[in-house]
Amino acid sequence: MLQHNLKKFVYQSSTEEKQNQESKDLDQQTIDRLLQSLANQSMREKAPSFEELESILQGESDASNTEQTQTESDHTPKSDDTKPITKYLLEHGYLKDEKNWFTKKGFFAIGNQILKDLLAELKTGDFGLHETKSVGTGTTILDTTKKFELGGELKLLNVSASILNTIQRLSKQGRPLDFPLDLDVDDFEEFETTEDVRAAIVYCIDLSSTMKSSLTSSGMSRIEAAKRALWSLYVLNNRFFPNDSIKIIGFASMASIINPFDVPFLKTYDANDEFLHYTNYQAAFRLAKKLLQKTNAKNKRIVMITDGQPSACFVDTDSQKEAILSEKPYSNFYVPNESLLSKIRSERNLNIDQSQGVQVYLCYRYKKVDAKVDERTLAEAKKCLRENIQIDSIVVSEESELLEYVQQMEKVLQGKTYHINQNNMDKVLVIDYLYNTKKILGSKN
């Protein structure tokens, strides 16, 4: 049998080789500047599509070139002498051609910069942080694998499975198995990971219509400030405390689990979304409780970010509905139809949790909370308390009635309330996480 000389075999990805040759087109400073521009675009109320990004980035590049010396601008791509900027960022794993166009690599690259700037302001040396090299993955490697995503960690690459995929692909194409093998990124598989959870926190962000409002001179809306804060907080968790679990829920009339990598693209609901733009604390509490019940963490916590009093609750039984109608015969009850749910899934990447309740009772009262809404909200919160889940609130509003309501609720729940403006939200969340969650862990462990 013919024996091959295995000592001379080289396994090499043709895609990676091309990427290495093209990496000279952009320096890291330029990449960081372009990604920051993309971050700002993603958090707009109407984020541009992937197809619209090229003209935006070219405009950013041209404006930057006018401020740089010729030597510096040699590293900046131009549309007339190299490939499009979006194609470069796509090939290097920062972007993907999808509605929410950041990859994990792009998400963490920007998040790391946001966090770095934030921690510099907070003088992080006082916190005694110890950075890990593991970013964006769990701490325990499993035997199962999944398709590799550009921007993922190469240390998790399943080499044998990836090579086998290449061989199978070449065989199906009728091509000879010449060495070095012509690997393709689509052949790559990586090991899945899971987290060894010590603390579990669910952040519930209000997506009701008023969250798009701005009360500060900076022009930043409440939802933009909340997204920036959660972005940096998620990166902080992955960099420094990978054994903790952070989940995110978006809520208005109903609630949805948010993929952390979709946070930059979150949008508020409005009147065009039927009745989804009301505020249902109960929806947030119930879905958060469901998530926290699945973890074995000893320290469980819900942090709610809101700018309005509750104006909706669930009606789970006929008797609950009858009790409301007996007092208010003309009350409004709501069940979203399938066409709206499909629209929300398609446009926002959100799957509304319908298992929470059959109907939603809607009752907005100016600067007051309806008695039935208050009753159902507190009842759900107390269920969380019985599960040893702490509930704290962050109020992003100047309404004294809202602050008073949340403070009264937290008094019953023995939680904490923060009253802040959106310019300080990222600092408040990070400080709260470091001094509250980590202090609890230190005392119990």
Residue 214 included in any domain = yes
Extract the tokens encoding 435: 């001094």
pLDDT band of 357, cuts 50, 70, 90: low
Q: Is there a single domain that holds both residue 146 and residue 263?
A: no
Stretch among 12-21, 22-31, 42-51, 373-382 having the lowest mean pLDDT: 12-21
Residue 96 included in any domain = yes
Residue 148 included in any domain = yes
pLDDT band of 280, cuts 50, 70, 90: very high
Residue 66 included in any domain = yes
Find the helix or strand (DSSP H, E) in which 183 lies.
strand 182-183
Q: Is there a single domain that holds both residue 292 and residue 366?
A: yes
Q: Is there a single domain that holds both residue 154 and residue 28?
A: no
- Identify residue 157 by its one-letter amino acid code: L
What digits encode the pLDDT tens for the residues 371-401? 999 999 999 999 999 999 999 888 888 788 8
Q: Phi/psi at 148 (nearest 5 deg)?
A: -70, 135
399, 49, 388: which is closest to 199 by C-alpha? Answer: 388
Q: Is there a single domain that holds both residue 258 and residue 397?
A: yes
8-state DSSP, 368: B
In the listed set 159, 194, 229, which residue is the last one of a domain according to the structure?
A: 194
Residue 330 included in any domain = yes
In the listed set 194, 209, 225, which residue is the last one of a domain according to the structure?
A: 194
Beta strands in 264-372 (DSSP E): 299-306, 312-315, 332-334, 359-362
Residue 225 included in any domain = yes
What digits encode the pLDDT tens for the residues 282-330? 999 999 999 999 988 888 999 999 988 999 999 988 898 999 999 998 8
In the listed set 48, 81, 101, which residue is the last one of a domain according to the structure?
A: 101
152, 247, 263: which is closest to 204 by C-alpha? Answer: 247
Extract the tokens encoding 239: 């960099």
The pLDDT value given to residue 379: 94
Q: Is there a single domain that holds both residue 220 and residue 187?
A: no
pLDDT band of 82, cuts 50, 70, 90: low
Q: Is there a single domain that holds both residue 203 and residue 189?
A: no
Structural domain tally of the chain?
3
Q: Is there a single domain that holds both residue 275 and residue 381?
A: yes
Q: Is there a single domain that holds both residue 206 and residue 186?
A: no
The pLDDT value given to residue 67: 53
For the cut 70, the answer to whether the pLDDT of residue 13 exceeds it is no
8-state DSSP, 276: T
% of residues, the chain, pLDDT over 90: 23
The pLDDT value given to residue 2: 42
Extract the tokens encoding 307: 């700018």
Q: Tell me the DSSP string of 60-88.
A: HHHHHHTTS-HHHHTTS--TTTS--HHHH
Average pLDDT of the segment spanning 15-22: 44
Q: Pick the residue with more confidence: 425 or 154?
A: 425
Residue 134 included in any domain = no
Q: Is there a single domain that holds both residue 92 and residue 147?
A: no
What digits encode the pLDDT tens for the residues 168-180? 888 888 887 777 7
Query: Nearest 5 degrees, angle CA 370-CA 373-CA 374?
Result: 85
311, 230, 306, 234: which is closest to 268 by C-alpha? Answer: 306
Q: Is there a single domain that holds both residue 77 and residue 164?
A: no
211, 248, 253, 281: which is closest to 352 by C-alpha? Answer: 253
Q: Is there a single domain that holds both residue 173 and residue 213?
A: no
Q: Are 392 and 414 in contact (CB under 8 A)?
A: no
Q: Could you tell me the CATH number of the domain that includes residue 209?
A: 3.40.50.410
Residue 247 included in any domain = yes
Average pLDDT of the segment spanning 415-431: 77
291, 309, 302: which is closest to 392 by C-alpha? Answer: 302
How far is residue 432's CA from residue 426's CA, in Å, rounded to a whole number?
Answer: 10
Ranges 50-59, 66-75, 209-218, 254-263, most confident = 254-263
pTM: 0.73
Which domain, by its residues, includes 386? 199-444
Q: Is there a single domain that holds both residue 29 and residue 173?
A: no
